[in-house]
Amino acid sequence: MDNPSRRDVLKTGGLLGALGAFAVVTPAQARPWRWSPAGSIPGTGSGADPRQVWDDEADPIVASLLERGDVPRVNELLRTWKKNSQPLPEGLPSDLRDFMEHARQLPSWADPAKLETAVRFNEKRGLYLGVLYGFVSGMMSTVIPKEALAVYYSKGGANMKGRISKTAKLGYDIGSRNAYLDDGEMIVTSVKTRLVHAAVRHLLPQSSHWADLAPEDVPISQHDMMVTWHSLPTSVMRTLKEWKVPIPAAEADGFLHSWQVSAHMLGIEDQYIPATWDDAESQAQQVLDPILAPTPEGVKLADMLLDLGKGLDFSLLTRPILGALTRFALGNEIADWLHIPREPVWGTLLDVAWGPFIAVREGLLPLPLAPDAYWTFDELLRQFVLLYMAELRPISIEIPEFNNPN
Ligand code: HEM
């Protein structure tokens, strides 16, 4: 048996204990589920512990596709399915087709006016979102232990940069003008991602690497989905507030709504989707904040992520700058977990000049006090946006057939 002691520790939830150098924390796994469905979109629900709920609809169908050897044919057919309003391709297995016809429907509570307001939010804040999705959400995913394990040992773990930037791209796509409209692509992206997650639930338990380390038998529960969800919109909103970016309430609500719809489309049950930012915050304090912790896999994934700009023509997206940015945005504790060195020059510049830079950009201060720093930061944000636009188009989400071969 590989490393039984680490598995044993993980199984009882004390992930940090497995690393020896860290204190054993109270296992989040062992705590009772407390978040009430009263704070969810329908305001009611069974209240079932989401750590024991996966995706009843998608999982059996995708497991069966994998068992039947249908996945290569399905992937080929689905490559042509790109736009929200496009009919499903001819020739899909009937069980999959039936599921997808149902899964592509927006929830009855989707509100076009709020989605339109989300577009306004994204247009106004688009320059920040590249760095926020990439370096707040993306880096955070490396200290979400179960996600780091799942990602590292699944097929995409062999190409971490691609995997993280695709998730960031989904965040970015949500903000496109036509995201959920007929000519947009968010519905397609979400339904395909739902299929990918269902495949991972079937495949990862067959990986001895994963099975030896994971604290559960089946990955990507509804609880895990919400954890990752909070690493996206909730963390973005928390950071924007920290940076003192003024956001009108209607725009904040629109942004939340676009992510609520995406949660539903990714297969998260409505009873777990927070209704308001206050509900989201209360849920994040329960599901996200206490579980952040380092793992050897997460440290390796973060190391790969710091090379995001390598070999590309983006002069500011270097390892030291990205490291300083991670430390600035996520704090010293997380940066130390990830073995990211301190960068005195860039670290100090961010500490001193980022606040005034935001204030000038937001029209709260008249002139940049340090024009060089202002333009450097502005260019940094622009390079992130370009990176996502240039690197990740077109995105093709395919159902995996195997785990990380390494
Ligand atoms: C794949 C997004 C939650 C693990 C993907 C992909 C996207 C995505 C866009 C497709 C990427 C690609 O084609 O390479 C999201 C979003 C989530 C979420 C928006 C929550 C709101 C999770 C969670 C886990 C997870 C909670 C694990 C605990 C994975 C894995 C893959 C994947 C292992 C497959 C990579 C492969 O091909 O091997 N996710 N994800 N995801 N996701 Fe998620």
* pLDDT exceeds cutoff 60 at 2: no
Q: Please report the pLDDT score of residue 395 as a whole number.
A: 64
3-state secondary structure 223-251: HHHHHHHHHHHHHHHHHHHHCCCCCCHHH
**Is the complex ipTM higher than 0.95?**
yes
Residue carrying structure tokens 């002069």: 315
pLDDT digits (tens, 9 = 90+) for 294-348: 999 999 989 988 988 887 777 888 999 999 999 999 999 999 999 999 999 999 9
Sign, CA dihedral 275-276-282-288, equals positive
| Mean model confidence pLDDT for the chain | 88
Choose the residue to mutate in 142, 163, 222 for probing ligand 1, maximizing ligand atoms within 8 Å of C-beta. 163
Output the DSSP codes for 119-146.
HHHHHHHHHHHHHIIIIIIHHHHTTSHH
CA of 225 to the centre of ligand 1 (A): 9
* pLDDT exceeds cutoff 80 at 160: no
For the segment 271-285, the average pLDDT, to the nearest whole number, is 97
The domains of the chain are located at 50-291, 310-391
Sign, CA dihedral 24-10-159-135, equals negative
* pLDDT exceeds cutoff 90 at 85: yes
Top-confidence range, 6-10, 236-240, 313-317: 236-240
For the segment 171-182, the average pLDDT, to the nearest whole number, is 84
Q: Please report the pLDDT score of residue 366 as a whole number.
A: 82
- State whether the beta carbon of 154 lies less than 6 angstroms from ligand 1: yes
For the segment 214-222, the average pLDDT, to the nearest whole number, is 96
In angstroms, the CA 143 to CA 149 distance is 10
For 399, residues 6+ apart whose C-beta sits below 8 A from its C-beta are 62, 65, 71, 74, 75, 78, 192, 195, 196, 199
- State whether the beta carbon of 151 lies less than 6 angstroms from ligand 1: yes
Choose the residue to mutate in 144, 200, 231 for probing ligand 1, maximizing ligand atoms within 8 Å of C-beta. 200
Question: With bands split at pLDDT 50, 70 and 90, how would you rate the model's confidence at 279?
Answer: very high
Under DSSP, is residue 178 helix (H, G, I), strand (E, B) or coil? coil
